[in-house]
Amino acid sequence: MLDILFTLLHLLIIGFNLCGWIFPATRKLHFIFIVATACSWFILGIWFGMGYCPVTDWQWRIKEQLGARNLPDSFITYFVNKVSGRAFSDAFINILTMLFFVLAAGLSVYFNFFRRKKQG
């Protein structure tokens, strides 16, 4: 049950990181999530490995207790491979993840700090 909840949590965070900038009501929260994700990946990553995600860490502990072995470093790699039935490399998925993250972060910065609100 916890494994399913962590999967849903992962998918919600990923979806929000990718699309939260779209809706004016969620743009500030989206920026906070982007900063938190970047801090996790790059600051906590200094000690735990670049791209570190505590949610993945917790979920992998649960999966290992359930008997899973040889889990990839990334939840995104795990999920894409599971859904597609293919075996994409961590490197390939990490590049795509970073490209989409940088795009979403850039859009968040643009909409939160540079785009003028429409004068009505």
3-state SS track over 3-15:
HHHHHHHHHHHHH
Band of residue 115 on the pLDDT scale cut at 50, 70, 90: confident
**Confidence (pTM):** 0.88
Band of residue 116 on the pLDDT scale cut at 50, 70, 90: low
| Cα–Cα distance list, 47 to 10, 33, 42, 43 (Å) | 22, 21, 9, 8
Burial class for 38, CB neighbours closer than 10 Å (0-12, 13-18, 19+) = middle
State yes or no: pLDDT of 106 exceeds 60. Answer: yes
Q: Residue 64 falls within a domain, yes or no? A: yes
Q: Quote the pLDDT of residue 94.
A: 94
**Cβ count near 79 (within 10 Å):** 16
Q: Residue 45 falls within a domain, yes or no? A: yes
| Mean pLDDT for the chain overall | 93
Q: Give how many domains the chain has, as a whole number.
A: 1
Chain segment 14-31, per-residue pLDDT in tens: 999 999 999 999 999 999
Q: Residue 74 falls within a domain, yes or no? A: yes
Cα 120 from chain centroid (whole Å): 36
State yes or no: pLDDT of 66 exceeds 90. Answer: yes
State yes or no: pLDDT of 117 exceeds 70. Answer: no
Q: Quote the pLDDT of residue 52.
A: 93
* Contact in structure between 52 and 45 (CB atoms under 8 Å): yes
Q: Residue 120 falls within a domain, yes or no? A: no
Q: Residue 35 falls within a domain, yes or no? A: yes
Q: Residue 119 falls within a domain, yes or no? A: no
Structural domain for 86, as ranges: 2-114
Q: Quote the pLDDT of residue 40.
A: 96
